[in-house]
């Protein structure tokens, strides 16, 4: 039987350098685990990692089309991946840190449907949804 363990999420971006700075500032993703470029395909990619193992792959392709959702409900109206969720130990502090780093508020910290948890949503500078999940304090 195979064992599956999460490795990373991939995110298509318009500006690799700007998004690298945002995810470094906002989530501490500062270690470059891998990077490559395919100039003939107008592609650049970087996998960033935080000290705790959290990873994201940012992929820039010239001419890519943006996709932006107003909120999680709007995102669920289009099939495919529409947000990335991460656990945080202090929701209010993490929410404020992401806003300070350049994220935009989608929904402020609130109680979740699941007992004992809270959540919030933000958009990164390019409009990609990021969900923050934390235990109730």
Q: Where are the domains of the chain?
A: 9-61, 73-135
Q: What is the pLDDT of residue 17?
A: 97
- Which candidate, 31, 81, 34, 42, places its Cα nearest to that of 64? 42
pTM of the model: 0.90
CATH superfamily of 9-61: 2,3-Dihydroxybiphenyl 1,2-Dioxygenase, domain 1 (3.10.180.10)
Radius of gyration of the chain (CA): 15
| pLDDT score of 75 | 87
* Residue of 22, 7, 53, 120 whose CA lies nearest to 129: 120
pLDDT number for residue 95: 97
Please give the backbone phi and psi of residue 10, each rounded to the nearest 5 degrees, phi first.
Answer: -105, 135
For domain 73-135, the CATH architecture is: Roll (3.10)
Q: What is the distance between the alpha carbons of residues 64 and 42, in angstroms, rounded to a whole number? A: 10
- Could you report the average pLDDT of every consecutive run of 10 residues in the chain (137 residues)? 87 96 96 94 96 95 89 85 91 96 96 92 95 89
Tell me, yes or no, if the two domains 9-61 and 73-135 fold the same way. yes
**pLDDT reported for residue 41:** 94
Q: Cβ distance 59 to 12 under 8 Å? A: yes
């Amino acid at each position: 039987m195979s064992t599956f363990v999460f490795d990373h999420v991939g995110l298509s971006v318009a500006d690799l350098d700007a998004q690298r700075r945002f995810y470094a500032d906002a989530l501490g993703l500062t270690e470059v685990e891998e990077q490559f470029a395919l100039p003939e395909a107008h592609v650049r990619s970087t996998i960033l990692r935080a000290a705790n193992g959290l990873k994201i792959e940012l992929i820039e392709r010239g001419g890519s089309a943006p996709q932006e959702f107003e909120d999680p409900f709007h995102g669920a109206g289009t099939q495919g991946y529409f947000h990335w969720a991460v656990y945080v130990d202090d929701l209010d502090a993490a929410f404020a840190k992401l806003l300070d780093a350049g994220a935009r508020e989608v929904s402020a910290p609130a109680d979740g449907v699941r007992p004992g948890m809270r959540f919030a949503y933000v958009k990164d500078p390019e409009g990609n949804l990021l969900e923050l999940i934390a235990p109730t304090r």
